[in-house]
Structure 1
Amino acid sequence: MLVTWSTMHPLSPPMVPKVNYGVNPFYLKSTENATVDHFTYEFGEQWIYRAVLPNLQYKTTYYYQVGSPEGDFAYDLDTDNGQVGDEWLRAVQDITATKPYMVLAGNHEINGLQNFTHYRNRFTVPINNPYNDTQFYSFNLGPVHYTALSSEYVCLTFLYGEQLAINQYNWISQDLQQAKANRANQPWIIAGMHRPIYWPYPSSVSLDGDFVENYTMWILKDGNDKMPGLEKLFIDSEVDMLFAGHVHGYERNYPIANGTVYKDGPNPYHNAKAPIHITTGSAGNEEGQDTTDYNCPPSPSSAQRSLKFGYTLLHVYNATHMHMEQISVADNGEVIDDIWIIKD
C-alpha cells in the first residue's frame, strides 16, 4: 500500500515527512519516510508526499498517522483558493485508506491546458510504460489483468498532438497481447478509460449538435488515417470487459463488436462473444444527471440503463465467474442491476 498526502507549505529542514503505522492504534511502532514532490498551478502550489508501506499482512487492519514533527497532517488544507481536489480526497479517505485506489484521467482532470497537473501530482499509479507516463498503465490482481488508458489522449489530439496517443496505442497493444498470452495466470482482462466507445443512444442520434462528443465516439472506436481506433484492439486482444464513465448515468451493454450485438441465449454474458461495455458514471456531480442522453431511445446494444445515482461493484470470484452489481444510492443501496459473467 502507498500513502499519499499534501500540504500547502514545505517542511522546514531538518523535518522529514513520514508515516507511522502498526496494528495497534496506540502504538504505531513502524515508520516509513516519504518522498516529496512539488507542483504549481494557477491557484498556488502544493507539496505531495508519498510513502510505501511494505510487507503488510493479508487480512490485517493497520492504523497510520502521516505528517512531520511540526504537525503538518494530511487533509487539513485551506480551501479558500478553490481546492476542490482537497475536498474530494477528504471525502474518499475512508476508501483510499483501506483499498488500493487506482485512477485514470478524464476531461475534468485536464486542469485547463496545464496537462493534467493535479492528476499527475496528486495520485500515484504504476509506471510500467517506457514513456514515464501516468496516463496509461496496467497491473495484475488475482485472476485479473487490468489495463488503464487515456481516452483524452485519443480524443484531444487538437490539444496534445497525436504522438501521445500513438505512444499509448503502441504500449497498450503490446500489453494486451501479453495479457492474452498469459490467460493461464490471469484469465480475465478488464480495461478502463474515461469516455465510452458506445454511448446510451443510437449512433444516428446527434448529441444536440455537439461536434466534440460525436467526434469522440467515432475517433475512439475507429481512429483516423494517422491513429488506429481502440475497438479493434480490444476485440483482437479478447478483452472481457471495458469500463468507462463521462456520461452521468449507468448503462450495461450486451457483448458488442464492430456494431454487432450478441444477445442470444438465456445469458449472453456466458462465454461472451465480444467485449462487454459498461458505462458507470452515475456517482454524482454538480451538473446533475444526463437526462438528454437517457431521454433518447436506447441503442441496439443497450441491455439496461439508469439515471439513479449509484456505483458499480464487480466481484471476481475465480477464473470462471464474475458478478457485477449496480447499487442505487437513491434507493438506499438497492441492487438495481446485476449480471454473472461466466467462462467455461
Structure 2
Amino acid sequence: MNIPHLSRPCSIYKTQHPSTPQTQTLQNLLPTMTTCFPSFRPSFAPTMWLSLCFLILNAARMGEGGVTSSYVRRKLAQKVTDMPLDSDVFRVPDGYNAPQQVHITQGDHEGRGVIVSWVTMDEPGFSTVMYWREDGLTKKSAKGKYTTYKYHNYASGYIHHVTINNLKYDSKYYYEIGMGHTVRRFWFWTPPAVGPDAPYTFGLIGDLGQSFDSNVTLSHYEQNPAKGKALLFLGDLSYADVYNHDNVRWDSFGRFIERSAAYQAWIWTPGNHEIDFAPELGESQPWKPYTNRYHVPFRASGSIAPFWYSIKRASAYIIVLNSYSAYGKYTPQWHWLSQELPKVNRTETPWLIVTMHTPWYNSNNYHYMEGETMRVMFEQWFVEYKADVVIAGHVHSYERSERVSNIRYNIVNDLCQPIKDNSAPVYITIGDGGNLEGLATNMTEPQPTYSAFREASFGHAIFDIKNRTHAYYSWHRNQDGVAVEADHMWFYNRFWHQVDDSASGQP
C-alpha cells in the first residue's frame, strides 16, 4: 500500500498514546485515517489495520522530540581510565624551581587585561612577568603576589598571580616567567576591540578531568581547524576530590592543561568538584584549592565573590554563574545578576552568553532536574533580556535544546511544560570532557520536545561568532576526525536577528 503525502492537517498526530485512558480507541481512528489520507481504502483484515494504526501512533509519539544519536561509542562498557602520574602530559619542566602549571585568563572587564598564573615548587622566586608585543622592542614588567595553602596532609607550592593591564587589542604578546636558567616563554593573542561585528571563536569544554579520554578531548580541541581563540570552561576541573581530595591531582591537572591554557584565556566556571568540602579530613572551608589556584576578574564586574562575574570579549558579553552558591531572592548572586543584565548593551556586545555548571534543560536521568530551582529563579530574566545561549556541564553527555522556556509554570492551569519561545536561549550541555566518572548513557524516553540533539559521547564544541547577527556552532565527538561535526547549528542573534533558528527553522 502506498500512503500518499499528507495534504491537510491530520489529527492523528495530536492523538494521545493508546495506553492512556483519554485516548481514542484504535477502532475509532479509521475515520481519522480516511480524512488524512483521502485515497486510503483499507482492504485488509481488521487486525492488520489495528496493527498499522498502532505503528503510526508510535511513530508519531517517538517523533515528538529531536534527535537521539544512534552513534555507539566503541567499547562503551570499557571503564574510563585516568592517566598515571608519570605520563608525559604531566611532566614537570626541567630546571630548578621552573615555573609550571602556567595558565592565563582575562584580567579585566573589557579584554585588555590578562591574569597570568603559575606555580613554583622549591621557593617563591619572583611574582613578575616580563611581556612585550610581537612587533615591539621594549620589554615591560608586571608584578603580582604569590600564595600558598594547606589541605589535609598536602602543602601547595608557591602559587603566583600577576595581572597585566592596558594591553593593545588584537595583538600578539610574548611573556616570560621564572628566573635564571629556568625562564620560560609563552605567548597569547588579545581579543579584538569590543564591538558589535568583532568576529571571535570560543571553544567549549566541561568536566575534563585527567583520563586518557580527557587527553583526546584536549588534543581534538587544539587540532580543530576552527581554531578556538579562548575557551569557556564549564566547571569540574581536576576531579582531585575523587582521589580522596589528594591535591597532587590539582598539580597534575595544571601541568596537563598548560599546553593550551598558557597560550589562550580559559574562562572559568566553577563546578561541584571544585567545592572540596571535606570535614572528615578537617577541611571545612569550601573552594580552597580552586580559589587559591584560579583567579578571575570578578571585582571588575562588581561581583563580591569569584564564583559569579562577567566579561566582555570581542562581540560577546559573558555572564558566569555558580550553581553551588546561594541564588535565592536577595542573595548576593541574585542581587548581582539582577543589576548585571540591564547593563548589557546589545548594540556593543550583541552576543549574550551565560555559563553555569548544572544544566536547566537535561533529558538525561543523570542529574535530572538538579537545576530546576535555579531555573525558576533566573529563567524569566534570560527570556526578558534575550540571552542567546546558556552553556552548562555536569551531565557527562552532550545535549542541545530548542529555544524553549517554562516561565509560565502554573500547575493549577496545567502550564507546566516547556514551550517554544524565540526569545529564549538555546541550552547546551557539554559535560562530556572525558573525566574518570565516565559517560551518562541513561536518557529519558521518549525524548522531550525541547531536546534537539543528544548523545552520550566525549567531545568538545566551538561557538564561532561571525558578526552581530550570525554565529556558527558545532560539536565534535572524540571518535571522529578533528574537523567532523557531529552536531551543528546556525545561531541567529536574539537582539539583532530574532528569527526561528530551531531545527525546523534552519535553511
Report what 2:363 is aligned to: 200
1:135 is aligned to 2:307? yes
Equivalent position amino acid for 2:491 in 1: I
User: How do residues 279-298 of structure 1 correspond to structure 2 at under 5 angstroms?
Assistant: 279-292=429-442, 294=443, 296-298=445-447
C-alpha separation between the residues in 2 aligned to 1:215 and 1:262? 19
Report what 1:67 is aligned to: 178
C-alpha separation between the residues in 2 aligned to 1:289 and 1:29? 47
Is 1:190–1:242's contact at 8 Å kept on the other side of the alignment?
A: yes
Which whole-Å deviations, capped at 9, do the CAs of 1:73-120 have from their partners, x for residues lacking one? 79xxxx9x6421222222221221222111011100001243111221
* Residue 69 (structure 1) shift: 4.5
Identity of aligned residues (%): 27
- Which SS does the other structure have where 1:152 is aligned? coil
1:249 is aligned to 2:403? no
Report what 1:267 is aligned to: none
Report what 2:339 is aligned to: 174
The match for 1:336 among 486, 493, 496 is: 486
C-alpha separation between the residues in 2 aligned to 1:111 and 1:249? 23
- Which SS does the other structure have where 1:242 is aligned? strand
1:304 is aligned to 2:453? yes
Q: Residues 132, 68 of structure 1: CA spacing in aligned structure 2 closer, same or farther, 3 A cutoff?
A: farther
1:261 is aligned to 2:419? yes
C-alpha separation between the residues in 1 aligned to 2:347 and 2:333? 26
Which whole-Å deviations, capped at 9, do the CAs of 1:50-77 have from their partners, x for residues lacking one? 1233454555544433224485979xxx
Structure 1 stretches of at least 4 aligned residues deviating more than 6 Å after TM superposition:
none
Equivalent position amino acid for 2:374 in 1: L
Which whole-Å deviations, capped at 9, do the CAs of 1:94-151 have from their partners, x for residues lacking one? 2212221110111000012431112211112112355530000001112211100101
Equivalent position amino acid for 1:6 in 2: V
C-alpha separation between the residues in 2 aligned to 1:191 and 1:154? 17
1:147 is aligned to 2:319? yes
Unaligned runs of 5+ in 2: 1-113, 186-242, 278-283, 407-416, 498-507
- Which SS does the other structure have where 1:298 is aligned? coil
* Residue 303 (structure 1) shift: 0.4
- Which SS does the other structure have where 1:84 is aligned? helix
Report what 1:320 is aligned to: 469
* Residue 262 (structure 1) shift: 2.2
Q: Residues 73, 61 of structure 1: CA spacing in aligned structure 2 closer, same or farther, 3 A cutoff?
A: closer
Which whole-Å deviations, capped at 9, do the CAs of 1:255-303 have from their partners, x for residues lacking one? 010043328xxxxxxxx332111101111111110012x3643222110
The match for 2:375 among 221, 224, 229 is: 221
C-alpha separation between the residues in 2 aligned to 1:253 and 1:16? 48
The match for 1:92 among 251, 257, 268 is: 257
Equivalent position amino acid for 1:189 in 2: L
Unaligned runs of 5+ in 1: 156-161, 208-212, 223-228, 264-271
C-alpha separation between the residues in 1 aligned to 2:156 and 2:256? 21
C-alpha separation between the residues in 2 aligned to 1:88 and 1:297? 38
Superposition RMSD on alpha carbons, in Å?
A: 2.9
Give TM-score, length-normalised by structure 2: 0.54
Equivalent position amino acid for 1:135 in 2: F
Is 1:21–1:65's contact at 8 Å kept on the other side of the alignment?
A: yes
1:36 is aligned to 2:146? yes
Which whole-Å deviations, capped at 9, do the CAs of 1:17-50 have from their partners, x for residues lacking one? 32234467xx994433332223222222342211
- Which SS does the other structure have where 2:491 is aligned? strand
- Which SS does the other structure have where 2:290 is aligned? helix
C-alpha separation between the residues in 1 aligned to 2:347 and 2:167? 27
Report what 1:225 is aligned to: none
Aligned length: 302
Report what 2:72 is aligned to: none
C-alpha separation between the residues in 2 aligned to 1:168 and 1:184? 26
- Which SS does the other structure have where 2:486 is aligned? strand
Equivalent position amino acid for 1:90 in 2: R
Q: Residues 41, 241 of structure 1: CA spacing in aligned structure 2 closer, same or farther, 3 A cutoff?
A: same
The match for 2:349 among 186, 189, 205 is: 186
Is 2:384–2:423's contact at 8 Å kept on the other side of the alignment?
A: no
Q: Residues 53, 131 of structure 1: CA spacing in aligned structure 2 closer, same or farther, 3 A cutoff?
A: closer
Which whole-Å deviations, capped at 9, do the CAs of 1:200-231 have from their partners, x for residues lacking one? 24xxxx65xxxxx4562321222xxxxxx122
The match for 1:235 among 383, 388, 396 is: 383
Higher gyration radius (CA): 2
- Which SS does the other structure have where 1:151 is aligned? coil
C-alpha separation between the residues in 1 aligned to 2:464 and 2:343? 24
C-alpha separation between the residues in 2 aligned to 1:342 and 1:143? 14
Is 1:196–1:244's contact at 8 Å kept on the other side of the alignment?
A: yes
Is 2:382–2:424's contact at 8 Å kept on the other side of the alignment?
A: no
